[in-house]
Amino acid sequence: MNFEETRQKLEKYNQQHLLRYYDTLSETKQADFIQQVAETDFSVVTRIGKKEAAKKESSISPIAAMTLDEIYAEKSHYEETGIEAIRSGKVGAVLLAGGMGTRLGSDNPKGMYDIGITKPIYIFERIIKNLFDVVDQTKAWIHLFVMTSDKNHEITMAFFEEHEYFGYDRKHIHFFKQDMAPASDYSGKIFLEEKWKLAASPNGNGGWFSSLMNAGLLDLMKREGIQWLNVFAVDNVLQRIADPTFIGAVIEKECESGAKVVRKNHPDEKVGVMCLEDGHPSIIEYYELTDSLRDTKTETGEPAYNFGVILNYLFRIDCLEDVVNKELPLHIVEKKIPYLDGQGKLIKPEKPNGYKFETLILDLIKLLNSCLPFEVERSKEFAPIKNKTGVDSVESARELLQQNGVEL
Ligand code: UTP
């Protein structure tokens, strides 16, 4: 792209203000700027104000989950099937660690956060320990794919290296980067983060599979015979990764995907809940759950939409390949975005000042034909760290870890 083409692209999306400092830049920085403009998808800002079509209440119906009782009744053979799949190398794991963790408020990647009390215990370390439970049980290494972003790739890799991968086999850990999306003010004008650099942030966890493919890792998976991927968030320090019983149940029920779910602890808990939408498995975000859906009961008097997702999914890779080119809804989220003001000074806002643009993994479920909601005990498998204190925080996660016998 030359300067004229850059100018035209900016003009097309009404972003000429980004050229404000161009003439003052060195040649190298000018080239960097032009490259960013060439690589950036500006069309996202044209979607501001055009809300994605809300899910229609009439198309929503309850989905049955596999409950704890049902799982216990069949546990041994589900577990056997899962162990067999892991031993034959059919299962990989994907750690989503590309987020910014803004609510936790640490400058480092969330996985580097130390949650220890008497000794350092890093979130990444806990995750590897959890994965080791299954590696020890099955005596088989599981390939772990770690998604990072431009903002934290180098530091994440260096951290694993420095801690010798917490004892995990180096050859079974693979890092890949997700894509970025520009960030704008409320009127859709993209911010500058430096005089030569557009403000950009990771584009949500929805694009993990295409990023994995773009990094060439699908070839590795095919070579290794991996057929299933267990995808999970960095911040749940209690979760079971590559849980054989979960994997076995999804395989035996011949589902294309599975989602670990917990019973909501109160009707307004802020978790997405599983449902059927036009007959397809789907997830309603908590802010889309209308009062009438929230209060709908089953024949036995239980809340009909009571199974919340905990961001631990199992996907069949060939089914993901079929849908990878389908567009996911774009979520436009208000965030605090650092930006250069008119004088070229970097401002770090105290409250939200604009939008980030994200796609979400939960929207992938609707593209598939089947999903098994698989109930787990929240006190044993759900300790998310979103905030420093209060709900879903370092404090609450520590308490849950201790209840589960983890020494901190
Ligand atoms: P969250 O939705 O909690 O976002 O991510 P976050 O960025 O970590 O935290 P806040 O909202 O800024 O406080 C859920 C999971 O998805 C990953 C996160 O790393 C976490 O494991 N994620 C999120 C990505 O991998 N990429 C993204 O662009 C966003």
Kindly report, residue by residue over 220-250, the tens digit of the pLDDT: 999 999 999 999 999 999 999 999 999 999 9
Atom of ligand 1 nearest to the CA of 95: 21
pLDDT top residue among 329 and 26:
26
Compute, in angstroms, the gap from residue 6 CA to the centroid of ligand 1.
Answer: 31
Compute, in angstroms, the gap from residue 284 CA to the centroid of ligand 1.
Answer: 18
pLDDT at 197 over 90: yes
Query: Which spans in 115-243 are helix H?
Result: 123-138, 153-162, 208-214, 217-224
pLDDT at 259 over 90: yes
What's the CA gap between 242 and 237, in Å, rounded? 14
What's the CA gap between 195 and 257, in Å, rounded? 45
Atom 22 in ligand 1: residue holding the nearest Cα: 99
Is the alpha carbon torsion for 295, 296, 302, 305 positive or negative?
negative
Instruction: Measure the CA dihedral 190/195/196/199, to 10°.
Output: -30
Compute, in angstroms, the gap from residue 30 CA to the centroid of ligand 1.
Answer: 32
Atom 5 in ligand 1: residue holding the nearest Cα: 99
pLDDT at 52 over 90: no
Looking at residue 239, its pLDDT comes to: 95
Q: Is the separation of the CB atoms in 304 and 294 below 8 Å?
A: no
Compute, in angstroms, the gap from residue 298 CA to the centroid of ligand 1.
Answer: 33
In this structure, how many other beta carbons lie within 10 angstroms of the beta carbon of residue 53?
7
Looking at residue 11, its pLDDT comes to: 96
The mean pLDDT value for 304-321 works out to: 97
Q: Is the separation of the CB atoms in 185 and 354 below 8 Å?
A: yes
* Strands in 285-362 per DSSP E: 307-316, 331-335, 339-340, 346-347, 354-358
Q: Is the separation of the CB atoms in 145 and 212 below 8 Å?
A: yes
Taking all residues of the chain, what is their mean pLDDT, rounded to a whole number? 95
pLDDT top residue among 57 and 83:
83
The mean pLDDT value for 92-113 works out to: 93
**Whole-structure pTM value:** 0.93
Ligand 1 pocket, residues with Cβ under 6 angstroms: 96-103, 110, 147, 178, 202-205, 233-235, 311, 386
What band does 102 get if pLDDT is binned at 50, 70 and 90? confident
Residue 232 corresponds to which tokens in the numbers above? 């999970």
What's the CA gap between 136 and 55, in Å, rounded? 43
List the Cα angle 134/140/146 in 5-degree steps: 70
Compute, in angstroms, the gap from residue 99 CA to the centroid of ligand 1.
Answer: 4
Among residues 329, 352, 309, the alpha carbon closest in space to that of 201 is found at 352
Compute, in angstroms, the gap from residue 400 CA to the centroid of ligand 1.
Answer: 21
Atom 18 in ligand 1: residue holding the nearest Cα: 99
Kindly report, residue by residue over 271-302, the tens digit of the pLDDT: 999 999 998 999 998 888 999 999 999 988 99
| Ligand 1 pocket test, candidate residues 95, 100, 153, 310, most atoms within 8 A of CB | 100
In the chain, the percentage of residues whose pLDDT exceeds 90 is 87
What's the CA gap between 253 and 237, in Å, rounded? 28
What band does 54 get if pLDDT is binned at 50, 70 and 90? low
Atom 1 in ligand 1: residue holding the nearest Cα: 99
pLDDT at 262 over 90: yes
Kindly report, residue by residue over 84-99, the tens digit of the pLDDT: 999 999 999 999 999 9
Kindly report, residue by residue over 3-45, the tens digit of the pLDDT: 999 999 999 999 999 999 999 999 999 999 999 999 898 999 9
Residue 367 to residues 73, 276, 279, 359, 360, Cα–Cα distance (Å):
31, 12, 11, 13, 12
Compute, in angstroms, the gap from residue 202 CA to the centroid of ligand 1.
Answer: 9
What's the CA gap between 272 and 215, in Å, rounded? 30
The mean pLDDT value for 322-342 works out to: 91
